[in-house]
Structure 1
């Protein structure tokens, strides 16, 4: 106010010749009209400044408030309930800064939780600054199939099922006329199970039809080496061996190894007797013919074979009886019937002397 009065006095002095001013114009304000004194204004300003400094110091030095962790997922949020709130008068001082404090929402749990334990500032900083370790990864291992099993189309297949699948595939290819593919499938079946007799016999038959007797004989030898208890395969191999020059000994060896497993088979004994007769072992041949006839006494061919073996072994009377029995059955072909009649003539002439 004193500065304003001084400016007014200067303007008044400049406006009149004598520097006194116009009485009717502008005049200085009397001291009693100036309102508040200078001392009061300066004192109020100083008090407000000191209060602001004190509040700022208190705000900066206040202890940090530890964060409150609230499990929102397991806490139910209550519905807001309207309530009458009385207006609160707010007094804002011009010289005091207003600080806005953002409050975090607090949710009430369904059950009373224990009061949080206050941690020291240093410990709180160590906990919050500590790196979060990742949770351990749990690896679930699917059990591997056993060594004897294999996965096919998402299913575990046993070795026996693989063998049967390969054999069925070979039969299906054979029905479709795909002989070469069927033979390959049969060989694959035997690689999986060398003792599969159905696959072995089918493959041997296809090899014989394809005029490949050496391969068929090799397959039969492999089968009998694994299991000699197969008289039918032994007879088949012996026939293939007899077709070769000097193959009688090999055929005889094949038949003798499987003989213990064919003691009740008349056909096996008769076939072995024919091989023995070819090798000029007539006595043994006659013995096996007699064993064969015990199983089938009406077989005229075997009676004829017995007569030949007995005649060669110098038993003409017994040979004549065997030939007469063969002729009397009347089941021989015309050629064999004529052969038996000639033998009877010879033996009659020998026995009557």
Structure 2
């Protein structure tokens, strides 16, 4: 009733401006009124107005309360997920997401929607779609369950040897010769015909002064691979150092490659031909390799020596002159060449001057 009393007090002040005393004086909170008899009609009108205002206030309060309740209900309906999810949605969601949707706590309406979309987008995994493949010949073995059977083949001996050889080269690059030697020996145990591993192992043995072991490694390799030119060339040099030049020639002849493939191999063979006094073979071999590389001075020198030994003075002279023009030879060799050029150069006929008078011989 205090609200009503306040409203009556306000109306009293509005309707009696400037009067010394209020016509509503005497109203009490309990509702008893002491009023003069002459103003009863005015008070009745005023009471009706107050009652109308009160009823209007009650109606407004009721309507506002319903509206707020409706908005709150709508927000709750938007935020609070239903306890049941339709089957056509539940079938496409993982069980963890379905449970999360059922037990989710209410959030503000907009944020609830954003959170739900992010959660579903993050956790849902699309089902794999199996493509239809028609008229394709399957070359990969497939098990009855549809899984591809991968067959892992073990490494062959050659593959293991190659891996060990590569490891040895890596060790050599780090100057670890002992580790490299062990790796090369392992490579040969996997594949005895890996000639690169055998050649490298022999070179390491020669570098450490173990010539007999190197010769044994190379000889064994040539028995397995008689035409392995790199092994033959290295083994021939060892035989020459051991004083067995004839055996070195035989090794090189048995494994000789094409001239164009390895001219240096044939240059070594030609030099050994000269040492065993096979000059014709030496000259022929030098001529072949000079067709491949005509600017090598030492090869012209070898050809000149072979031809000079066979008494072919004019050919030897030409070869000595070519060796001199090619350059790159040592001083001692150049002196020998110059001496041979002088010796092989034909002497021009010399006519002595005479003071004879030819008229004296006339009759």
When normalised by structure 2's length, the TM-score is 0.50
1:105 aligns with none
Contact 2:195/2:228 (8 A) holds in 1: no
Mark the runs of 5 or more structure 2 residues left unpaired by the alignment.
1-150, 351-363
Q: Which moved more, 1:291-300 or 1:218-227?
A: 218-227
1:310 and 2:307 aligned: yes
| Residue 207 in structure 1 maps to residue 205 in structure 2 | yes
Please name the residue that 1:288 is paired with.
285
* 1:273 Cα deviation after fit: 1.1
Which position in structure 1 is the counterpart of 2:187? 189
1:217 aligns with: 215
- 1:324-335 alignment, distance < 5 Å: 324-335=321-332
Residue 189 of structure 1 and its aligned partner are, at CA, apart by 0.9
Q: Does the aligned pair in 2 maintain the 1:317–1:351 contact within 8 Å?
A: no
- The CA distance in 1 between the partners of 2:305 and 2:204, in whole Å, is 36
Contact 2:271–2:302, Cα closer than 8 Å, also in 1: yes
Is structure 2 residue 258 aligned with structure 1 residue 262? yes
Matches within 5 A, 1:119-130: none
CA distance in 2, matches of 1:277, 1:289: 11
Q: 1:304 to 1:192 in 2, by over 3 A?
A: same
How far 1:258 sits from its partner (Å)? 1.1
Decide which of 326, 333, 336 is 2:333's aligned counterpart: 336
Residue 235 of structure 1 deviates from its aligned partner by: 1.6
Which residue, out of 239, 242, 245, partners 1:244? 242
Q: Map residues 84-103 of structure 1 onto 2, 5 A cutoff.
A: none
The CA distance in 2 between the partners of 1:287 and 1:351, in whole Å, is 31
Change in Cα spacing, 1:174 to 1:296, as seen in structure 2 (3 Å) is: closer
The answer (yes or no) to whether the contact 2:313–2:344 under 8 Å persists in 1 is yes
1:275 matched to 2:272: yes
Distance 1:269 1:351, change over 3 A: farther
- TM alignment of 1:24-43, pairs within 5 A: none
For residue 46 of structure 2, what is the aligned residue in structure 1?
Answer: none
- The answer to whether the 8 Å contact 2:297/2:329 transfers is yes
| Alpha-carbon distance in structure 1 between the residues aligned to 2:321 and 2:171 | 52
User: Offset at 1:349?
Assistant: 5.9
C-alpha contact 1:231 1:262 (8 A) present in aligned 2 = no
Cα pair distance change 1:174/1:293, threshold 3 Å? closer
* Post-superposition offset of 1:254: 0.4
In 2: Cα distance, 1:161 partner to 1:276 partner:
40
1:157 Cα deviation (Å)? 4.2
In structure 1, C-alpha distance between the alignment counterparts of 2:349 and 2:272, rounded to whole Å: 32
- Name 2:13's counterpart in structure 1: none
TM-score when normalising by structure 1: 0.52
The DSSP-based 3-state class of the residue aligned with 1:314 is: coil
Instruction: Report if aligned partners of 1:316, 1:347 keep a CA contact under 8 Å in 2.
Output: yes
Partner Cα distance (1:188, 1:218) in 2: 17
Contact 2:280–2:306 (8 Å) recurs in 1: yes
Secondary structure of 1:216's match? helix
In the alignment, the residues of structure 2 paired with residue 285 and residue 167 of structure 1 have an alpha-carbon distance, to the nearest angstrom, of: 37
> Which sections of structure 1, spanning at least 5 residues, go unmatched?
1-145, 150-155
Shift of residue 164 of structure 1? 3.2
Rounded to whole Å, the distance in 2 between the matches of 1:351 and 1:239 is 45
How far 1:262 moved relative to its partner?
2.8
User: For residues 266 and 159 of structure 1, do their structure 2 counterparts lie closer, same or farther at Cα, with a shift above 3 Å needed?
Assistant: closer
For residues 286 and 350 of structure 1, the distance between their equivalents in structure 2, rounded to whole angstroms, comes to 26
Question: How many pairs are equivalent?
Answer: 199
Of the candidates 223, 232, 235, which is equivalent to residue 234 of structure 1?
A: 232
The separation in 1 between residues aligned to 2:334 and 2:167, in whole angstroms, is 49
Structure 1 contact 269–288 (Cα < 8 Å) conserved: yes
Counterpart of 1:35?
A: none
How much does 1:351 deviate? 9.5
C-alpha displacement at 1:308, in angstroms?
0.6
RMSD: 2.6
Deviations 1:193-229 (A, max 9, x none): 0111221122111111101112112212222222233
